């Protein structure tokens, strides 16, 4: 097997869905008792039967989180560089068919955004763009990444899938990590939601983490967009399979898993499956039990109250004060956004809530003088 596509072809969506829904209490109890749960155990932890075991799942997840990560929670912020997009996706505000004003930040505007974020205390930055190869592609990244990297301690990207050699080049420019969400692992559903553009290529996207691993990228972020497929449980299991595949083959990289749920946006669609808040906690705990060393992320898609209650259980990284449009920080733009965040608190308020929960908010966790090379 050369890429995850080979493993994906062995996984039958319908069979997995039936297997998850057929799990019973004794399966959940066995998974909870396991020192290292298997993929079969993960089915049980994601199953409807596990709903009755949420409290012991949360307790064990919290113990594992403290053992591996202590009390620290990293703070990061997304910087949207452009809302240009050459794809037509049913669920995204940046979709090319949506009639919104388009904006790509130039060098001066990027400096202003970076300065505004530095003033707030952020040191961990996630660069986000729409997917537009010609106008917001490698030439744009080559021009602007070095200047951005010089201002921040850690730099991640969530952009269109690139080639292995392009990721390797970006690493030399200071790139630490890449987030690439498959959206859904159900091929037919994926096709229904990706109508035009390069993002229609299901397998090019599916194999992106393999290219990242071969390029030696330090951290690789995975996830699915809950609500696209008719079974969030099966999509979560597919993410777990993807994680296990990558950890085995590209063990030098670190991994993170995020749990985005559909949020309102221009031209958005209604969710095909609903994951309520208890079920989201169940999924988070299941991933912590499956892989105690993986970093789990919760974004501002979720409400302040939910984040304050769930982060102390198993979350390692949270975003704060996210603006999902270009120019959202320095110019306080209120249009052009990709989706509407739910938690709009300022970063100092999020950090205060973490401290009140007995956690340590971390703005910066390394310095170049300690040996790391950019």
Query: What's the pLDDT tens digit per position in 259-276?
Result: 998 865 555 678 888 999
Q: Could you read off the pLDDT of 122-142 as tens digits, one per residue?
A: 999 999 998 888 889 999 999
What does the DSSP assignment read for 229-250? SS-HHHHHHHHHHHHHHHHHH-
Contacts of 244 (CB under 8 A, 6+ apart): 39, 290, 291
Span 177-236, pLDDT tens digits: 999 999 999 999 999 999 999 999 999 999 999 999 999 999 999 999 999 999 999 999
| Main-chain phi, psi angles of 80, to 5 degrees | -85, 115
* 9: nearest Cα among 217, 192, 207, 158: 207
Q: Do the domain assignments include residue 278?
A: yes
Give the model's pLDDT for residue 266.
52
CA 237 to chain centroid, in Å, comes to 15
CATH number at residue 296: 3.20.20.70
Instruction: Compute mean pLDDT per 10 residues along the chain, 374 residues long, and list them.
Output: 93 98 98 96 98 98 97 96 90 80 93 96 94 91 96 95 98 96 97 94 98 97 95 98 97 96 68 93 98 96 96 97 90 64 93 97 74 50
**pLDDT for 228:** 93
CA–CA gap between residue 211 and residue 65 (Å, rounded): 29
Relative to beta strand 177-179, strand 154-158 is parallel
Q: Please report, for residues 89, 103, 149, the alpha-carbon distance to residue 188 in angstroms, rounded to integers and kept in the order given.
A: 14, 32, 39
> Domain limits at 219?
4-363
Kindly state whether residue 110 falls inside one of the protein's structural domains.
yes
194 - beta bridge partners? 89
Q: Model-level pTM?
A: 0.94
pLDDT at res. 217: 97
Q: Is residue 374 part of a domain?
A: no
Please check whether residue 271 lies inside any domain of the structure.
yes
pLDDT of residue 263: 66
**Number of independent structural domains in the chain:** 1
Nearest C-alpha neighbor of 288 from the set 53, 131, 61? 61
Q: Distance between CA 341 and CA 150 in Å, rounded?
A: 28
Tokens of 32: 């909870």
């Amino acid at each position: 097997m050369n890429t995850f596509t080979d493993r994906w072809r062995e996984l039958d969506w319908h069979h997995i869905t039936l297997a998850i829904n057929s799990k019973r209490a004794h399966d959940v109890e066995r998974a909870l008792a396991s020192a290292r749960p298997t993929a079969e155990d993960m089915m049980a932890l994601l199953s409807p039967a596990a709903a009755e075991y949420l409290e012991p799942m949360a307790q064990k997840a919290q113990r594992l989180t403290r053992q591996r990560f202590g009390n620290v929670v990293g703070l990061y912020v997304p910087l949207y560089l452009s809302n240009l997009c050459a794809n037509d996706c049913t669920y995204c505000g940046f979709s090319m068919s949506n009639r919104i004003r388009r904006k790509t930040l130039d060098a001066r505007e990027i400096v202003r955004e970076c300065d505004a974020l530095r003033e707030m205390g952020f040191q961990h930055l996630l660069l986000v763009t729409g997917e537009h190869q010609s106008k917001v592609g490698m030439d744009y990244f080559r021009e602007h990444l070095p200047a951005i990297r010089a201002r921040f301690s850690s730099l991640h990207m969530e952009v269109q899938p690139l080639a292995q050699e392009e990721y390797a080049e970006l690493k030399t420019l200071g790139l630490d990590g890449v987030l690439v969400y498959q959206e859904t692992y159900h091929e037919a559903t994926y096709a229904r939601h990706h109508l035009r553009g390069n993002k229609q290529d299901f397998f090019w996207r599916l194999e992106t983490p393999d290219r990242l691993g071969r390029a030696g990228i330090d951290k690789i972020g995975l996830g699915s967009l809950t609500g696209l497929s008719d079974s969030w449980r099966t999509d979560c299991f597919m993410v777990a399979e993807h994680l296990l595949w990558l950890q085995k083959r590209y063990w030098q990289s670190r991994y993170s898993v995020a749990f985005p749920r559909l949020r309102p946006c221009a031209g958005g669609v209604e969710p095909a499956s609903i994951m309520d808040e208890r079920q989201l906690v169940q999924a988070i705990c299941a991933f912590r039990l499956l892989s105690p060393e993986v970093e789990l992320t919760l974004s501002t898609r979720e409400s302040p109250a939910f984040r304050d209650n769930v982060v102390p259980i198993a979350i390692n990284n949270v975003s704060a004060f996210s603006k999902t449009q270009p120019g959202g920080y320095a110019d306080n733009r209120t249009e052009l956004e990709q989706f509407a965040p739910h938690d709009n608190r300022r970063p100092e308020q999020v950090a205060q809530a973490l401290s009140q929960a007995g956690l340590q908010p971390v703005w910066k966790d390394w310095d170049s003088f300690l040996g790391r090379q950019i």
